[in-house]
Amino acid sequence: MSPKILIIGACGQIGSELTLNLREKYGENQVIASDIREGDETLMASGPFEILDATNTSALEDVILHYDIDQVYLMAAMLSATAEKFPMKGWQLNMNTLFNVLNLAKDQKIKQIFWPSSIAVFGPSTPKENTPQQTIMEPSTVYGISKQTGERWCEYYHKRYGVDVRSIRYPGLISYKTQPGGGTTDYAIEIFHEALKHKKYTCFLKENTALPMMYMDDAIKATIQIMSAPIEQIKIRSSYNLSAISLTPKKLSEAIKKHLPEFEIDYKPDFRQAIADSWPASIDDSPAKQDWNWKHQFDLEQITEKMIEGLTPKVSIDYDY
């Protein structure tokens, strides 16, 4: 039988695409979308929706009991750049929501949790290239500290209380359907919007800043795949490394220029440069490959094509107003 699913943060960059994908897989009424605000028309028209602040323990429990939820995907978080501006708010949002769902699973009110971690768990002392699953982890951002701490708690709840929590360390995610908000890897999306609108982009990272990146379809595929995998295949209960491509602003701008030859880029690094400098350039995801057969599909050329194809109609609509 299909699980009854609650998505927290369903209107965000990952949440909105995940909701639509899970509704296609399991049926629209099996997937309850929730967020602190309403999402776009497509999301709102696609199935049941609840306004929900997941830091509110009793409001969250009410929704879970009301819909008889089996699985929670906790996609609400404050990302790296915003959390540097509001450290305590970022910490509280990222940790309190996680404790709320972990405790509901411990009390057997839900059966399974997906919780996203990030490459931000790594820090300046981590090996930069082909960063292994297990290595030195001294994150230097509030967001990274919250994700690293969250990983420890996920593993603890699994070992101590048998909670079936599964997690992925997402790289930067590139998508055109919903805008990202407050991340350091957001440049890789902004660049496409600006290239199509103004043929010019000023990047907030230096040209040779390499970061791990992935197309959203691959991230959604990985998320659904890890949640559907037989329980014995999930051997890591902190979070799995996940990798697709390693990208610099320069490489990305060159790929865009092949489609839009007039496109120009210049560089004005800001506070996000230090965040990017503290993260890996590329990731080794062999445990995810071995344990649950992970494999990415989209390379830089394919991502560039998809982004330009997907954003072109949106940009011309913007011009009509």
User: Which residues of this protein are in contact with ligand AKB, per CB under 6 A?
Assistant: 79-80, 118-120, 143, 170, 172, 183-185
Residue 321 burial by Cβ neighbours in a 10 Å radius (0-12, 13-18, 19+): exposed
Residue nearest to ligand AKB (CB): 183
- The least distance separating ligand AKB from the CB of residue 14, rounded to whole angstroms, comes to 9
Given 143, 157, 170, 215, the catalytic residue = 143
Q: How far apart are CA 25 and CA 168, in angstroms?
A: 20
| Secondary structure, 3-state, 23-62 | HHHHCHHHEEEEECCCCCHHHHHCCCEEECCCCCHHHHHH
CB of 260 vs ligand AKB, minimal distance in Å: 24
Q: Which residue, 113 or 120, is less far from ligand AKB as judged by CB?
A: 120
Q: For ligand AKB, which is the closer residue by CB, 89 or 235?
A: 89
Q: How far is the CB of 119 from ligand AKB (least distance, A)?
A: 5
Q: SS3 of 225, please?
A: helix
Please state, as a whole number, how many other Cβ atoms lie within 10 Å of the Cβ of residue 96.
13
Q: How far, in Å, CA of 111 to CA of 163, rounded?
A: 8
Q: In angstroms, rounded to a whole number, what is the distance separating the alpha carbons of residues 112 and 73? A: 9
- 59 vs 274, beta carbon nearer ligand AKB: 274
Contact 181, 12 (CB under 8 A): yes
Instruction: Output 47 or 183, the one with its CB closest to ligand AKB.
Output: 183
CB of 290 to ligand AKB, least distance (A): 23
Q: Which is nearer to ligand AKB, 35 or 186 (CB)?
A: 186
Least distance (Å) from ligand AKB to the CB of residue 170? 6
Catalytic-residue membership of 143: yes
Q: What's the number of CA atoms in the CB half-sphere (13 Å) around residue 214?
A: 27
For 267, the token pair is 């560089």
Q: Extract the tokens encoding 311.
A: 């954003």
| Residues taking part in catalysis | 143
